[in-house]
């Protein structure tokens, strides 16, 4: 039935320690900019080219699968590779640094607007109103959109 080796452990890849992997995930998640494309490019450079923790074929296969799933593909890809290397705890440790920076920014903006109400009347209010207006508009316009596109089905 074949060998019992892990999918990540082939002859050309290396398995890192958990602490080493955690440091790499934190640096990729916190320091990469450019959205998912930049994060995925950083992951590829570090994981496949520099550290050789996962093969090119396995990375591309995982990336293709994550593109099909709904949600943030860079976070999903990091979580999958973390799980592949260190199980469930590795998946959590790999995915968390991708969510943390955005959550901290939202928390800081929230605290800024609650501590200084005058800040809520400045550009933050316009940003917040635009951020909330677009999803609300899309949700409310959906029934009309469905009526107009019904003939396509």
What are the backbone dihedrals phi and psi of residue 16, each rounded to the nearest 5 degrees, phi first?
Answer: -85, 165
Q: What is the pTM of this model?
A: 0.66
DSSP3 helix / strand / coil % (the chain, rounded to 5)? 80, 0, 20
Query: What's the whole-number mean pLDDT along residues 83-105?
Result: 89
pLDDT at 134: 54
Q: Which residues contact 20 (CB under 8 A, 6 or more apart)?
A: none
d(Cα 68, Cα 11) in Å, to the nearest integer? Answer: 29
pLDDT at 132: 57
**pLDDT tens column, 21-40:** 999 998 888 787 667 888 89
d(Cα 49, Cα 51) in Å, to the nearest integer? Answer: 6
């Amino acid at each position: 039935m074949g060998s019992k080796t892990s999918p990540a452990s082939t002859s050309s890849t290396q398995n890192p320690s958990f602490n080493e992997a955690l440091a790499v995930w934190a640096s990729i998640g916190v320091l990469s900019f450019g959205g998912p494309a930049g994060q995925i490019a950083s992951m590829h450079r570090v994981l496949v080219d520099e550290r050789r923790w996962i093969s090119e074929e396995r990375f591309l296969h995982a990336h293709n699968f994550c593109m099909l799933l709904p949600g943030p593909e860079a976070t999903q890809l990091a979580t999958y590779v973390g799980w592949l290397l260190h199980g469930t705890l590795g998946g959590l440790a790999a995915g968390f640094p991708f969510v943390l920076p955005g959550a901290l920014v939202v928390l800081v903006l929230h605290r800024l607007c609650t501590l200084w109400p005058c800040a809520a009347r400045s550009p933050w209010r316009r940003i917040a109103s635009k951020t909330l207006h677009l999803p609300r508009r899309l949700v409310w316009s959906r029934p009309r959109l469905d009526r107009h596109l019904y003939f396509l089905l």
